[in-house]
Amino acid sequence: MAGPMEVAWMALDAAEPEARQHVKCVTHGDWNMEHGRDDHGGHDFADLVELGCRDRHLSDQNSQLGPTDMGDWDYLTDDGPDMEWLHSRIALDGVGDVSDAG
């Protein structure tokens, strides 16, 4: 899951307790473990596990990925209006970040 865990926690919390054992909560890297609680005042990965999902940790596949200069994304402007729109959304942040693509 990308970003804070609050939405995932709300969904799992709303699920029937006996059904939660069939849910796999997957994370990679230490950032995801406490980010939701520490940076957003919400729930974190441990809170998901406490609700009863099956805990899965992947090794951090994003160590070589992250924000890049907008010039790396210019190819999107050559592929029609849908890709131009995508480029414009990335440009709002000023950098492209593929760190969750791992």
Same domain, 71 and 54: no
User: For residue 86, what is the enclosing H or E element?
Assistant: helix 81-93
Contact 54, 23 (CB under 8 A): yes
Tell me phi and psi for residue 95, to 5 degrees.
-145, 150
Same domain, 12 and 50: yes
Q: Which residue type does 93 have?
A: D
Q: Is residue 25 part of a domain?
A: yes
| Structure confidence at residue 56 (pLDDT) | 83
pLDDT tens figures, 74-94: 999 998 999 999 999 989 888
For residue 16, the enclosing domain spans 6-58
pLDDT tens figures, 8-17: 888 999 999 9
pLDDT tens figures, 24-68: 888 776 665 666 566 666 788 888 899 999 988 777 666 667 778
Q: How many domains does the chain have?
A: 2
